[in-house]
Structure 1
């Protein structure tokens, strides 16, 4: 599994030391905005710990989840912490802007607390929008206002920046998303692939506190913006296993890895995998494998 880039990692990769000071703003979360020509022309394929909206003016290839698209005209890109992506610039002639922000920044503004639930950031949605000259001017003006506002000493500037984010999202929702990604052979294959991609993104579990949040077929269907029956039908058709079987298999795989390669006790592993009680985890593990977590641990000694 690819590594996850933190906000701090972003600034270190782009040698933007000034931005590191923004990380110390207490109780606000993180927001920043940049001109694209000041940052790397090639980015690593990975997930990020932050949301990002980019106005791309320049040619290159966007790798997103398990597909890619060639960008040869101005475009808006919306990325989220779930799906990995990378950008490969075709040349050095790269212009535009981008802003990055965290969940906490959004949650501090009640009106925009559900911005991350927008269709623009959904796992199964289309992340890129090609824009015309008039739309480019409108979007550019918003980014320019962001650049100006973040440098101001206005007491409520972060509220202003959230408002600009809100405006940016609404302007984009008027635009039709790009449709020329490399397509799958059929709808079931696409749904099953997105599900398997999303399932894999839930792991590894790095600490008991970073517990598994998506545990049922319904959880995954909601995140993919499809009906659970459609998800079940597609996964069964393409993989030969039910959605529940795929989830259970991956949870057991992770459980075995944690039992073998960490010093967490069984209770910590249970909580990390989303079980409310260790006994529930033990029963689940035994039902799936025929043995108990403690037996696996004992066998390793």
Structure 2
């Protein structure tokens, strides 16, 4: 583990960074959240108070590191504090400017509608919509979760179920296999299992209930 302060860039800039070996990350994967994979354009902007808070933890870390006590678990605990603070600060950032991030949610939902306004060759995934919106999948997912209280994948699944119900209800000429293919399912059996898990009824049973 390397803890360092300051680096040479133009224009002159001072700051702190924490460098961890790949082994440390792999052995302590539970510490490392999705935001560590955010893109450079998805930065966290700290308030003055947050800068002071983060700096205080770094100073404690540096003090312990330079004392040469070298207790790895203590240093790892400081890392955990830093990561937890960053997570809290990102949530604060999402809440500080809700209009900006609500626009991301709206664009995601609109992209989902547009995806199914044309023939679906396959089931959509979070990565597809993230690339369409110029974001990383983790960043998009965290914004969606923050504002809808459900993951991006859950939102996608809910939309697919809604569309499936509409097709089963409004287009009786389509059998369940054709509905599955229209929605982008490669295997109709998977569609039936997916639908039953979400709704509690198979597509055929759902149609039969409508007839009753």
TM superposition score normalised by structure 2 = 0.50
Which structure shows the higher strand fraction? 1
Asked which structure has the greater CA Rg, the reply is 2
Larger RCO of the pair (alpha carbons < 8 Å, separation 6+): 2
Which structure shows the higher helix fraction? 2
TM superposition score normalised by structure 1 = 0.36
